Copies of this chain bind each other. A is one copy, B any other.
Amino acid sequence: MDALSGTERLIALSEIQELKARRDHSLDLKEWDTYVSLHAPDHVSSHGAQDGGDMGSAADVVRQLAVTLDGVITAHHSHTPVIEFETPEKAKCVWAMEDNLYWKQGEEDHWLRGFGFYHETCEKRDGVWLFTSRSLRRTHVMMSPGAKLGAERAALNKQNA
């Protein structure tokens, strides 16, 4: 049950929204240390196959992203959250999202444009809100013809390294 007072709830909402802002910004700026610091050690990330499948902990995710997003410009934008508190220190959040990715394969320009909803949970631990899980549920995704991302791109990067 949500036993937060009016003001306490507003403060929690604002802290969770800032947590999300820092996650989206640090992802697109590839500030991986900041990115990891926003997630609990036991955080679990599970996306669709196109978006990395079961990605494990935040540290695991970053190890994968640093490879698969090497040379990829990304813009992850999140909108209009619905945030519900299970307890004063535990919340479920749904954000509408759009992401745009741009990269080269040799001389060719490639891109991905996608839409969906982030389903996230977060918890306040030692006074600080942290993500504890994330799942991306896609509604639509488009890619340039011949585009390679994820494992395929990681293999391509390794081959060219």
Question: Who on chain B is nearest to A21 by CB?
Answer: B80
Known: A11-B6, A14-B13, A100-B115. A24 touches B80 (CB 8 A): yes
B-side contacts of A6, CB under 8 Å: 7, 11
**In the docked arrangement, what's the CA distance between A1 and B18, Å?**
18
Residues A119-159 near B (CB distance < 8 A): 139-140
Which residues, 46 to 98 on A, are CB-close (under 8 Å) to B? 73, 75, 77-83, 94, 96, 98
Tell me, yes or no, whether A25 is within 8 Å of chain B by CB: yes
B18 pairs with A14, CB closer than 8 A: no
4 other contacts beyond A6-B11, A79-B79, with CB at 8 A cut-off?
A17-B80, A21-B81, A22-B82, A29-B139
**A residues engaging B (CB < 8 A)?**
6-7, 10-11, 13-14, 17-18, 20-22, 24-25, 28-29, 73, 75, 77-83, 94, 96, 98, 100, 102, 115, 117, 139-140
